[in-house]
Structure formats: C-alpha cells, structure tokens
Amino acid sequence: MKISEAFIAAPLLIVYICAGDPTPAATPDLVRRLAAAGADIIELGLPHSDPIADGPTIQAAAQRAIAAGMNTDVYFQVAAEADVAIPKVFMGYYNMIYARGLDRFAGDCARSGITGMIVPDLPPEEAGPLQEACAKFDVDLIFLAAPNTPAERLKMIEKETSGFLYLVARTGVTGAQSDILQSTRDLIARVPGSKPKAVGFGISTPAQAAEVIAAGADAAIVGSVCVDLIARGEVERLEQLIRDMKAAVKAAGKSKAPIVG
C-alpha cells in the first residue's frame, strides 16, 4: 500500500520493529500481529553493525538480529512474507543500501511490498542518487527534520521528502523518554508546507502519542518501547500497548481543531 493512501485516515500510528529480532523467522508474524493490533504503517528496521542514530535499545536489537542471521537478502524475504494491508517502510543506514547498489535496493523494496524508505544518516544533500533510484520504483524517500533544523533548511527538507516528513522529537538518539518537550511542539508548529508530519524518537506511551497528535502531527511513531517488549518476549503486552496507543491517537485526532487551509 502507498503511504499517501494510509494518510487519508490520519492521524496514524506508525510502529517500528527491528527485522530479525529475536529471529528472522519470527518477524513476519510479528508484523501481522502489530497490523492487527492497529498499526497503520510498519517501519521495518534493517540491522546495521554501526547504528549511530540509535540508542542502546535498538543497538542491542540490531546485534541480536545480526547474530541470528539477519542480512539484506533475508530482510527482503522476511519483508515479502509479512503480507499485510498497511504500508511497510524500510528503515536503515545508508551503507547497507550503498553496498547492495541503489537501484537494486530500491527494486528489492518494491518487489517485497515496501513502499517507503527512511535512511537516518542520509540528509537530502547526499540523497540525489537514492532519490533517483526510488523514483524509478515508485518508492517514497522520507527525510528527517530535528528541533535544531533551521527554518530555511526545514523548508528544503519538507520540499524534498516524499510520503511524509519524519520529525525527530528531540536531539540525540532513539529511545524512550519521560515527556514531550516544548521544542517538539515548536518543531511541529513551524514546519511549512502540507505534507504529512510524523513525530518519532522518545514516544513510548499512549499519552505521549496523543500529545504529539494534539500538537498538530499527523502520525506518532513508536519504536524503542516495542523493541524492548519484543526483547522481553512480551508480545501480548506489546499488542495491548499498540491498541491503547491507537485509541489515544484517534481520540486526540477527533478532539483536535480542524486544520484550516
């Protein structure tokens, strides 16, 4: 499914998991269960040996997945097997894409039902070649903006992104945090343009998800807490969390004042 189709039903809940953690075989079923619990988009992480944008939780998941045999070939098999009706989005580091070849990677995404890519260490300045490859295979290339992104640059990133704009809720790396910062609200408020905005990094509770939606985001992204629950084998608790977060996101969407223009 295309990302833009999913956003017709905004606000959305986007859920990240690390492919191959705890094992590659477990991933397709996890994706299906998360979709059934209410995830609107699945971000499927491809583990990398040197994940510089990730905190300890996702680093550890990547190490476990690599040790369990996850690699790019297995990743695309697993992604194809995870047959869900919601969009699947790749998330991973640029060297993994570069090593496979940009066209081949984007083509493999399309063939395995992945309709978007998030590459946290690839700012738009370096992304020209991958943008071309993505365009060939009709895959969205999603860029990130952060609270310290200056206004002019924010405008450029909003223009370049496709699918949605990924707003990093705070500076630093991925991982759960206790509250949503004023700088996150400011960032949501100052994004120009009309593309959907999804907020991630540090969202781990239904209240936080509701908060970013109420502040104007079109989607909340939840990651590290899911990875953590999977690591502890608490998949049922994860399903409950996703149901609760989805309900909170929808409720926050209804109470939100209609967007003018």
- 56 or 233: CB nearest another protein: 56
Q: How far is the CB of 95 from another protein (least distance, A)?
A: 4
Q: Which of 5, 29, 83, 126 binds another protein (CB under 8 A)?
A: 126
Residue 78 CB, nearest distance to another protein (Å)?
14
Q: Which parts of 187-226 interact with another protein (CB under 8 A)? A: none
What is the sign, positive or negative, of the torsion defined by CA atoms of 198, 199, 204, 209? Answer: negative
Give the nearer residue to another protein in terms of CB position, either 8 or 99. Answer: 99
Q: Is 159 in the site for another protein (CB under 8 A)?
A: no
Closest separation in Å from C-beta 164 to another protein: 15
Segments in the chain forming alpha helices (H): 3-6, 27-37, 56-67, 72-81, 94-100, 102-111, 128-136, 151-160, 182-190, 206-214, 224-231, 235-255
Asked if 153 is part of the footprint of another protein (rule: CB under 8 A), the reply reads yes
Task: Please select the residue that binds another protein; options are 27, 57, 59, 184, rule is CB under 8 A.
Answer: 59
Stretch that binds another protein, among 17-25, 96-104, 186-194, 239-247 (CB under 8 A): 96-104
Q: Looking at residue 46, what DSSP letter applies?
A: -
Q: Give me the long-range contacts of 208-213 (CB less than 8 A, separation at least 24).
A: 208/179, 208/180, 209/13, 209/245, 209/248, 209/249, 209/252, 210/248, 210/249, 210/251, 210/252, 211/180, 211/252, 212/169, 212/180, 212/184, 212/188, 213/11, 213/249, 213/252, 213/253, 213/256
Tell me the closest approach of the beta carbon of residue 133 to another protein, in angstroms: 15
229 within 8 A of 241, measured Cβ to Cβ? yes
Active site residues: 43, 54
CB of residue 184 vs another protein: minimum separation in angstroms? 13
- The residues that touch another protein, with contacts defined as CB under 8 A, are 48-53, 55-56, 59, 63, 66, 71-73, 93-100, 120-123, 125-126, 143-146, 148-150, 153, 157, 168, 170-173
